[in-house]
A and B are shown apart, each in its own frame.
Chain A
């Protein structure tokens, strides 16, 4: 079925068993993002240690795409250098905005490649990007905070 391109097994797995879905007590930055068109919400905590993303934790409500996407993000980005994380971020955003013309690099995106089908459903791109935009926001805040410290 056509829909299976959108709802890949990996996505439904992450939706049913989300990773890192428990807000940590400590963090460098905490953000709250919403998707005003559908009401999806996410809180995300981020910790950066010596230029490496040492922890991302989150909580939220939303559709399987938004929830799976942030779960995949945490698996993918925890332990990465911040520059590398931004490179993955740019890859992912380009894939989402590709309208299905780009297949994405699995070596870079790992499980996030399963979200490639989302790019053909314009209404769902914001769902997939909710957690990623929250991450970007938190990372900027965390870095500006560390400069102040």
Chain B
């Protein structure tokens, strides 16, 4: 099947509407959240219409069907990532998944391999989203561990000139993003993972910006934990995924306590169900989880490599066009080596918020601000940027509209 974004767009009902008095929707904000194909919307709705009951509870047919739907989705996610079914934990979003890890690690008693003490080190980078920075920063404060980080070079790459100096024998956790949500940079993981394991630490990958956009296989990457968000991968909001190696999930203590995560309970004590159940207290977001299963099936049918290739082509075109514009400065790599489909830029003295508002008036949706990565925008020496991010439904024509919009904005504010 050939890849045609114009055919793909027909699967997404939102592209049938218009924006700001009849403009065509040019949606360049998939890095924030993706649009949803009709199969996902229907999967979610169908669950409520036909199968709604509390999964893993109840002795009736609907509860059986709800359980089956939930567990089928888990299998889809496991196959999508190349993990085992019991290694998939559903959370509310990837932010919760990262907090789950940080709190569970913080709860680990002496003798547990995750136990942290003063002087242990946690390694992140300057290009982390707040969701993969603050949980570790605060965990370090709570435990007396030391937070260290890889710096970012002026061209928007991780400075990996001294891996062995940053990841040391004291390192317990390395938590890095796979692809920067601001710069578009894809980080090379092989040496980082190797060094992490060499010192006996665990490697946590924030894959929010990679799993929706390229083939990602947890086995091939040899990582220990991975998180991603359903809503960035054409799935519903309200569902995130934590994947962890079975033996690590087994040793990691739970974070949230309550119903369904237990093995046995007395008035004074409790024991835990095996993973993934011990990390999933409360009735899960079943309809959304079912919708995520449908979303990943949809992406798989199209082909993750094809989606990635398409985004690379769009990004390359966008970078070459944007660079033609006077005073426009791309914040992040301009070469396509290890680079994904998020392009941030500044435009002379025109503030990103004003540019974003102007583009919106032409039907173009972009993100403006610091993109929940404030230390990174500070490091890059800009108060804020405008970001265009691409997905399977974007076309080269979208880039042309963006190009014209940016030039018109220069005339308007000039």
Indicate whether B387 reaches chain A with its CB closer than 8 angstroms.
Answer: no
Which residues of chain A in 53-71 are interfacial with respect to chain B, using CB atoms and an 8 Å cutoff? 61-66
Stretch from B182-190, B253-261, B278-286, B353-361 forming part of the interface with A: B353-361
User: Bound state CA distance, A117 and B348, in angstroms?
Assistant: 25
Q: How many residues of A contact B (CB 8 A)?
A: 20
Task: Give the chain A neighbours of B354 by CB distance below 8 A.
Answer: 7, 63-65
Q: How many A-B residue pairs have CB under 8 A?
A: 47
Contact yes or no, B413 A12, CB < 8 A: yes
A127 within 8 A of B: yes
- Is B357 a contact of A6 with CB atoms below 8 Å? yes
Interface residue ranges of A4-34 to B (CB < 8 Å) = 6-7, 12
Contact with A38, one of B20, B358, B370, B413 (Cβ below 8 angstroms): B370
Within 8 Å of chain B (Cβ to Cβ): is A124? yes
A63 is contacted by which of B21, B351, B370 (Cβ under 8 Å)? B351
Q: Does B383 contact A (CB under 8 A)?
A: yes
Give min CB distance, A27 to chain B, whole Å: 24
Contact in complex: B361, A38 (CB < 8 Å): no
Closest chain B CB from A81 CB (angstroms): 34
Q: How far is the CA of A7 from the CA of B369 in the complex (A)?
A: 19
Given A2-B20, A2-B21, A61-B383, A37:B357 Cβ within 8 A: no
A62 touches B351 (CB 8 A): yes
The winner among A3, A39, A41, A61 for most chain B CB atoms within 10 A is: A39
Instruction: Output the least CB separation between A49 and chain B (Å).
Output: 34
Report if A39-B358 is in contact (Cβ < 8 Å); known contacts: A62-B351, A65-B353, A127-B353.
Answer: no
Residues of A within 8 Å of B413, CB to CB, are 12, 64
Enumerate chain A residues within 8 angstroms of B353, measured Cβ to Cβ.
38, 40, 62-63, 65-66, 124, 127
B69 to chain A, nearest CB (A): 37
Q: Which residues of B contact A64 (CB under 8 A)?
A: 351, 354, 413
Q: Is B15 an interface residue (CB 8 A)?
A: no
Number of chain B residues whose Cβ lies closer than 8 Å to a Cβ of chain A: 18
Residues of B within 8 A of A40 (CB): 353, 383-384
Query: What separation, in Å, do the CA atoms of A124 and B352 have in the docked complex?
Result: 12
B385 to chain A, nearest CB (A): 10
Residues of the A chain whose Cβ atoms lie less than 8 Å from the Cβ of B370: 38-39
Is B377 an interface position by the 8 A CB rule?
yes
Chain A residues near B368: list those with CB within 8 A: 38
Interchain CA distance A127-B383 in the complex, whole Å: 15
Contact present for A3 and B383 (CB under 8 Å): no
A1–B362 Cα distance when bound, in Å, is 10
Instruction: Tell me the complex Cα distance, A3–B351, Å.
Output: 16
Q: Quick check: A121 and B361 within 8 Å, CB to CB? A: no
Query: Considering the chains assembled together, what is the distance between the CA atoms of A127 and B356 in angstroms?
Result: 14
- Given A37-B369, A38-B369, answer yes or no on A2-B357 (Cβ-Cβ < 8 Å): no
Instruction: Report the Cα distance A39→B380, complex, angstroms.
Output: 14
Give A121's nearest chain B residue, CB to CB: B357
Partner of A39 from the list B20, B357, B377 (CB cut-off 8 Å) is: B377
Which 5 pairs show the lowest CB-CB distances between chains A and B? A63-B353, A63-B351, A38-B369, A3-B361, A39-B370
Sampled A-B contacts (12; CB under 8 Å): A2-B21, A2-B361, A6-B357, A38-B352, A38-B368, A38-B369, A38-B384, A40-B383, A61-B383, A62-B353, A62-B383, A65-B354
